[in-house]
Amino acid sequence: MNMIAILSKSILFRNIPESDISGLLETTAYRVASYRPKDIIALQGTPCNYLMIVLNGLLQGQMVNDAGKLVVIEELEAAQLLAPAFLYAPKNNLPVNIIAMEPSEILFIHRDDFTVWMQQNRQLLQNFLMLISGRSHFLSDKIMFLSLKNIKNKIADYLLHKLPDAWSTVIHLTDTQQEIADSFGVTRPSLARALAEMEQEGIISIDRKVITICNMQLLRQMGQ
């Protein structure tokens, strides 16, 4: 898939014709950078002076908490933006480390050039404002998730979001326990212990990477 087609799938370019996207790019000295797995794209504290859009691959925003434990804040795939809420912030330093988890490509557009784009294209401006407003909700929810919930609450919230539909009770996990623990900001043994306790309490049943919800009502209460 070419770059224009990828960008057209981004919320940022919603309802903008591909011809208009191409026209914007022709006016800008953008660059595309490639990364290998485990490459550091940007370190926490780096000034965010470029609009960064994932063209392909998988990235992680990672932070080390006060206990020295790695916390995965989010994962980013093709057509998603890296830290857009910090692009125009008075203090625009990145709050996380950005790491490539698989071969990835990122489009870089300088903030000044992107400002001109938004002045020229009203739809682009509206899309960007909607996007950063949504990011505010995401960050608020993430702070709540990481700071106010115990491990069992986090597991319940995680499992509820992994259900394929409202009627399902079976979840086929794609993440390892270590990956889940990193996203929770806890150790893997602590996660395993909490999962075992929830199984003993009859809330879930675990068969390797398949989890069956045995008590949906209680799980929903825990996930609130």
Global pTM value: 0.68
Domain boundary, last residue among 145, 167, 197: 145
Q: Say if residue 138 is in the same domain as residue 160.
A: no
**CA 59, 65, 71, 74 torsion-angle sign:** negative
Q: 57's torsion region: left (phi>0), alpha (psi -120 to 50) or beta?
A: left
Shared domain for 141 and 157, answered yes or no, is no
What single string gives the DSSP state of each residue in 11-35? GGGTT--HHHHHHHHHTS--EEEEE
Residues 48 and 136 in one domain: yes
Question: Are residue 101 and residue 208 in the same domain, yes or no?
Answer: no
Sign, CA torsion 109/110/113/119 = positive
Distance of CA 134 to the CA centre of its chain: 12
Q: How far apart, in whole angstroms, are the C-alpha atoms of residue 177 and residue 139?
A: 23
Considering the domain architecture, whether residues 70 and 34 belong to the same structural domain is answered as yes
Whether the predicted pLDDT of 147 surpasses 80: no
**Rounded distance, CA 39 to CA 104, Å?**
10
The pLDDT value recorded for residue 31 is 95
120 and 23 within one domain: yes
Same domain, 137 and 205: no
Domain co-membership, 19 together with 130: yes
Q: Which of 81, 115, 145 is the last residue of a domain?
A: 145
Same domain, 82 and 122: yes
Say yes or no: 156 and 139 in one domain: no
Tell me the C-alpha distance between 186 and 71, whole Å: 8
Q: State residue 145's pLDDT score.
A: 67
Q: Does 126 or 187 have the greater pLDDT score?
A: 126
Do 125 and 181 belong together in one domain?
A: no
pLDDT digits (tens, 9 = 90+) for 89-130: 898 998 889 999 999 999 999 999 999 999 999 999 999 998
- Which residues fall within 8 angstroms of residue 147, CB to CB, at 6 or more apart? none
149 close to 141: Cβ distance less than 8 angstroms = no
Query: What would the mean pLDDT of 135-148 be, rounded to a whole number?
Result: 65
pLDDT tens per residue across span 12-57: 999 999 999 999 999 999 999 999 999 999 998 999 999 999 999 9
Q: Which domain holds residue 60?
A: 3-145
